[in-house]
Amino acid sequence: MEFDKILTNNNLWAVRYDNETDNVLQQLFSQWSDPEWLMNFFCDNMSDLEAYFKITDVNQAIYDTIDDSNELQCLILDLSPDSNLDKLFRPLENNRTQEMLLGREKARLARNRSHASWLRLYAIKLEPGCYIITGGAIKLTRTMQEREHTLRELNNMELVRNLLLQEGAIDADGFTDYLSETNEDYLYETENS
């Protein structure tokens, strides 16, 4: 596994998996703009599209995906070293409120047309404002465990997380200190509010 620097200040990275010619951003945006790939995907997942989004027109699903992909792509392209990545990514688990070591995160478009965007980018959070993108998906179901292609993304996040831990690439003590400081700040704010 290798890594590509996306922002020059080292705050955003993308994984390049073994035997792949480029990183996950290149692969995802290439697939999400490819009508043939999208036609195959939506035909294979037609029942989810109908059940969860009440959409029966595959062509419209493809057009919507390409539109959203273009928008998400512009969002990433226009990121600068000053951008606040914590506004782009949020915890994968909707009910998670506390920081966790190498937390799993997701990015999605906030825009709602007739339906919410089903595109997701997945990442591991190294610390506030610093992320590694591990993959992405067209998420048509409520949970990621329900389908093989989204389950694979969960596994990839775990793969990257484990690699960083096994390789000793994480400053766990620093994280503990950071958590203590965050909790102290939180307690101070709570006590004084």
Partner 1 sequence: MKQKTVDYLLRNQSKTPSQWREEAEWRRENAAWLQYSQRIAVLLLAYMKAENLTQQGMADRLHCTQQYVSKILKGRENLTLEVVANIERALNIQVINL
Residues binding partner 1 (CB under 8 A): 1-5, 10, 13-14, 16, 22-23, 25-26, 29-30, 33-36, 39, 43, 58-59, 62-63, 66, 70, 73-74, 76-77, 126-127, 130, 132, 164, 167, 169-171, 174-175, 177-178
Question: Taking Cα atoms as reference points, which of 171, 14, 4 lies closest to residue 102?
Answer: 171
Rounded to a whole number of angstroms, the minimum distance from the CB of residue 142 to partner 1 is: 28
Rounded to a whole number of angstroms, the minimum distance from the CB of residue 121 to partner 1 is: 13
- The angle formed by the CA atoms of residues 153, 111 and 7, to the nearest 5 degrees, is 55
C-alpha span between 65 and 168 (Å, rounded): 39
Q: Toward partner 1, which CB reaches closer, 36 or 148?
A: 36
Cβ contacts of residue 173 below 8 Å, gap of 6+? none
C-alpha span between 188 and 105 (Å, rounded): 27
What sign results for the dihedral spanned by CA atoms 142, 145, 148, 151? positive
Rounded to a whole number of angstroms, the minimum distance from the CB of residue 82 to partner 1 is: 17
Q: Toward partner 1, which CB reaches closer, 7 or 116?
A: 7
Rounded to a whole number of angstroms, the minimum distance from the CB of residue 103 to partner 1 is: 13
